[in-house]
Amino acid sequence: MGMTSPELLKLVKNCPHGTEALITRIIHILTQQMPPSHEIVEIIRDLYYKRISDVRLLIPVLTGLEKSEIINALPKFIKLSPPVVKEVFNRLLDSSRTSQTSLLSPSELLIALHRISLEECELRTIINATSVCFNERSIYTDDILAVVLQQLVEMSPIPILFMRTVLQTFSLYPKMANFIMIILQRLITKQAWKQARIWEGFIKCCEKTRPHSFPILLQLPPSQLKHILQITSELRDGLVRYLCSMPIAQRSSIPSSILIVIEDDSKNVALIPPSNSA
């Protein structure tokens, strides 16, 4: 019995309640070697939207759905068991299942996960879903993650999981440190301290990426820098050492308001050279 069989199409269309799992299994088997037919996709779509709201029904026909439909269903997909979530993601990213490109690009999938609201899913569920992506190192390369971070940082508000993704990216690809500094710079221009979770992650990222982050800290407004120096001795002490090792001419280019904050927070350290009196 093939996907164009009138008997099969009739069976699926008139699927009795309680047989959803069986129907899904039949379609799953039929679509293992070839894409679902247009007729099957339309019948399954009709069932899902009008009669049976179980998202598992859509899995065998993912390749026949519109991108917008897939993204709208993501919050339901990621609530399924971990093996099923992994299967869904593999189907979405596997271009060999379709005659064209993958249903979602790797960056589109990870960005879509970040955009899921906490009203739709618990935070832990979204985190677990992003972890499935990060575990696919051959797919989520440094180039792909750079695209993801560049797009996420421009969103307003910045997604709540953004800094977690920045830290995971640095953990997987330490050589991206310079790129991550660009992201931190952008966060300063976007006043990241106005979003508590983003600001908390910003500070943690500065800790993890020191000494790369010291020049970034010097770009903060005085009040935000003071806040950081008061809560993390590692950054405070490291920043003082960084400034002390800096040539005086270079240090003189740093705003005095910033140097005063660091001096006030660090005992017995003079960073501002005394002015020459006549």
- 112-170 residue pLDDT tens: 999 999 999 999 999 999 999 999 999 999 999 999 999 999 999 999 999 999 999 99
Question: What is the arithmetic mean of pLDDT over 212-233?
Answer: 94
Tell me phi and psi for residue 83, to 5 degrees: -60, -35
pLDDT at 265: 61
Q: For Cα atoms 136, 31, 42, give the angle at the middle one, nearest 5 degrees.
A: 110
Alpha-carbon span 197 to 164, nearest angstrom:
10
pLDDT at 277: 43
At 180 the three-state DSSP class reads: helix
Higher pLDDT, 64 or 95: 64
With pLDDT > 70 as the criterion, what percentage of the chain qualifies? 90
Alpha-carbon span 105 to 67, nearest angstrom:
10
Alpha-carbon span 18 to 16, nearest angstrom:
6
pLDDT at 213: 96
User: What would the pLDDT profile of 36-51 be if each residue is shown by its tens digit?
Assistant: 888 888 888 888 888 8
Q: How many CA atoms are closer than 13 Å to the CA of 261, on its beta-carbon side?
A: 20
pLDDT at 278: 39
Check if the beta carbon of residue 158 is closer than 8 Å to that of residue 198: yes
Residue 5 has pLDDT above 90, yes or no: no
pLDDT at 21: 76
User: What would the pLDDT profile of 128-137 be if each residue is shown by its tens digit?
Assistant: 999 999 999 9
User: Which residues make Cβ contacts (< 8 Å) with residue 13, sequence separation at least 6?
Assistant: 43, 46, 47
What average pLDDT does the chain have? 88
Alpha-carbon span 189 to 184, nearest angstrom:
9
Residue 267 has pLDDT above 70, yes or no: no
Check if the beta carbon of residue 265 is closer than 8 Å to that of residue 254: no
Residue 85 has pLDDT above 50, yes or no: yes
Residue ranges of the domains in the chain? 1-65, 66-140, 146-209, 221-273
